[in-house]
Amino acid sequence: MATSNATLCQNYIGGRWVNSTSKQTHRITNPAHGSSVVATVQASVVEDAEDAVQASANALNSWSSTPAPQRSAILYKAYELMRDQEDEFARTITLEEGKPLADARGEVKRSLNIIEYAAGEGRRMFGYTTPSELTSTLAYTVRRPVGVVAIITPWNFPLAIPTWKIAPALICGNTVVFKPASSTPLSAVKLVEIFEKAGLPPGVLNLVTGTGASIGDHIVTHPKVQGISFTGSTEIGAKLYAQAAERLKKVQCEMGGKNAVIVLADADINHALGGIVQAAFGSTGQRCTATSRVIVEESAYDSFIQELIRHTRRLKVGDGMDPEVDVGPTASEAQFRKIIEYINIGTSEGARLIYGGKALTGRQNEGGYYVEPTIFADVDPKMRIAQEEIFGPVLTVFKAKDLEEAIAIANNVQFGLSSSIYCRDLAKAFQYVEQVEAGMVHINSPTLGGEVHLPFGGTKASGVGAREQGTEAVNFFSEVVTVYVDYAGNRTQAKFI
């Protein structure tokens, strides 16, 4: 079994649940109740990572030669198994990451959609035929898997992000070494158990728990690992990308965000506020697509600020297991301390704190890592809180005289993941689409998320390499092979121009 009394998270290597060779573990606590231990996770070392890579390499030939529709059948079975355990998956996410159950259930739904979509790609692994300039020659393309791929995922979506990498990797015929975030291993274990029960052959999917510092470099630089899909900080992603490029590996990195919403004076303010408050404070602001900046046209600025405070005041903060809670705890003590530090930075920089800004302590919070939803107004675009990713329930508000200045403020950061505008003037909306520097753009809707059949990813420091999801995922996890067939067999030399 993967766990013993739901406390010890083991590695899954070569089709077996095994202990780390290090014999070392660390505890995972519930962020809603800091002293409540929910699991013990193994601190894997290089030897464990090596075993996982070797197991993946050993399974590659058999899995890659399995017809894609047969691989689909296993993914569809995994989909059915996860669907039957939706509530259990959601509670596991809330228990280890802290987000409210409603958000966790949304994450499970997203994961199901991803598996279902990826399974369907097993019958759409298309190449194409094209006329050749040579006589008696058939020219066409086929897809082949990349090989052994490494999947490295963060803690904020401990189920959905691994799923949207692993499912397309598997359907394309790759074998996988999966290293989840060390602080959220329970969802990773449950996900691997689902694929195991669905009939995935031994060695096709291998799980190694532990920190990136202890095993990440070994996996990334291993000569048998041909592809890497990473989600995490820009600093780590940039280092990983350089390591992979030096070794000519295929790599995609989805990294940070500092997502902006522009609100023009003609916008439906109540509609805009609903999306902004949800995107800024839902999941405690710990989404890569969360709204962290709002840029308001100055004629609407004062009334917008008043309504923003009123909407935010309605939010209930507490344990995510409480169905009435809107904002859960931060995911860890380290994240809690980082957010509080940024709030102090914002105050010291001269931004006007208009709501929240405090750590929530006391008996009712039972030692959890809670931060009030926090709003800074009159923010200067050069301030650190305007430039750096906080990854918490902190919203900064800017004033702009018109659309041109609003777009300039939106673009004046190193990131370019997601962006949004609320307005009624379609000419201005499409001017924004043409000029904003972001990989995903929304009109009159929040900066959040995306649909599984559409590309996901950003520009600038938010992403490098191929996009994720949709057909882009198949493009990343496969290689295109061009085939020429001389079916007459009477040509001694090809005469290409």
Pairing mode of beta strands 8-9, 37-42:
parallel
How do residues 21-36 score in pLDDT, each as one tens digit? 998 888 989 999 977 8
> pTM of the prediction?
0.95
At 273 the pLDDT is 97
Helix (H/G/I), strand (E/B), else coil: 43:
coil
User: Do the beta carbons of residue 392 and residue 284 sit within 8 Å?
Assistant: yes
Does 477 or 367 have the greater pLDDT score?
Answer: 477
Mean pLDDT of 458-487: 96
Confidence of residue 364 (pLDDT cuts 50, 70, 90): low
Can you say how many angstroms the Cα of residue 166 is from the centroid of all Cα atoms in its chain?
12
Range(s) for CATH 3.40.309.10 in the chain? 259-443
Q: Dihedral of the CA atoms 354, 357, 363, 366 (nearest 10)?
A: 130
Confidence of residue 3 (pLDDT cuts 50, 70, 90): very low
Pairing mode of beta strands 8-9, 11-13:
unpaired
- Length of the chain counted residue by residue: 497
Helix (H/G/I), strand (E/B), else coil: 271:
helix
Q: Left, alpha or beta for 23 (phi > 0: left; psi -120 to 50: alpha)? A: left
Does the structure show a pLDDT above 70 at 180?
Answer: yes
Dihedral pair phi/psi, residue 158, rounded to 5°? -70, -10
SS3 for 213-231 is HHHHHHHHHCCCEEEEEEE
Helix (H/G/I), strand (E/B), else coil: 446:
coil
At 212 the pLDDT is 81
Element housing 275 (H / E): helix 269-281
Residues 6+ apart with CB under 8 A from 367: 33, 34, 35
Domain formed by 259-443, architecture: 3-Layer(aba) Sandwich (3.40)
Confidence of residue 321 (pLDDT cuts 50, 70, 90): very high
Domain formed by 8-255+462-482, architecture: 3-Layer(aba) Sandwich (3.40)
User: Do the beta carbons of residue 173 and residue 121 sit within 8 Å?
Assistant: no
Does the structure show a pLDDT above 70 at 449?
Answer: yes
Q: Which two tokens stand for residue 413?
A: 């950061």
Average pLDDT, the chain: 94
At 362 the pLDDT is 54
Does the structure show a pLDDT above 80 at 228?
Answer: yes
Gap between the Cα atoms of 428 and 73, Å rounded? 47
User: Do the beta carbons of residue 260 and residue 410 sit within 8 Å?
Assistant: yes
Element housing 162 (H / E): helix 160-171
Among candidate residues 18, 137, 33, 2, the one with its CA nearest the CA of residue 366: 33
Residues 6+ apart with CB under 8 A from 405: none
At CA 15, angle to CA 9 and CA 19, rounded to 5?
Answer: 35
Gap between the Cα atoms of 422 and 274, Å rounded? 11
Does the structure show a pLDDT above 70 at 496?
Answer: no
Dihedral pair phi/psi, residue 71, rounded to 5°? -65, -35
Gap between the Cα atoms of 149 and 174, Å rounded? 7
Confidence of residue 327 (pLDDT cuts 50, 70, 90): very high
Does the structure show a pLDDT above 70 at 494?
Answer: no
Gap between the Cα atoms of 188 and 90, Å rounded? 13
> Which position among 9, 172, 288, 423 bears the catalytic label?
288
Among candidate residues 277, 223, 258, 191, the one with its CA nearest the CA of residue 417: 258
How do residues 392-413 score in pLDDT, each as one tens digit? 999 999 999 999 999 999 999 9
Mean pLDDT of 70-84: 98
Among candidate residues 215, 55, 209, 149, the one with its CA nearest the CA of residue 465: 149
User: Do the beta carbons of residue 257 and residue 290 sit within 8 Å?
Assistant: yes
Mean pLDDT of 107-120: 98
Range(s) for CATH 3.40.605.10 in the chain? 8-255+462-482
CA dihedral for 359, 364, 369, 372, sign (positive or negative): negative
Residues 6+ apart with CB under 8 A from 220: 150, 152, 228, 240, 243, 244, 249
At 497 the pLDDT is 54
Residues 6+ apart with CB under 8 A from 322: 100, 316
| Catalytic (active site) residue 254 | yes
Q: Which residue has the tokens 């409210």?
A: 100
Confidence of residue 489 (pLDDT cuts 50, 70, 90): confident
Does the structure show a pLDDT above 70 at 343?
Answer: yes
Confidence of residue 129 (pLDDT cuts 50, 70, 90): very high
> Which position among 254, 372, 389, 468 bears the catalytic label?
254
Mean pLDDT of 85-112: 97
Of all residues in the chain, the percent with pLDDT exceeding 90 is 90
At 6 the pLDDT is 47
How do residues 253-283 score in pLDDT, each as one tens digit? 999 999 999 999 999 999 999 999 999 999 9
Does the structure show a pLDDT above 80 at 156?
Answer: yes
| Catalytic (active site) residue 288 | yes
At 493 the pLDDT is 62
Mean pLDDT of 291-315: 97
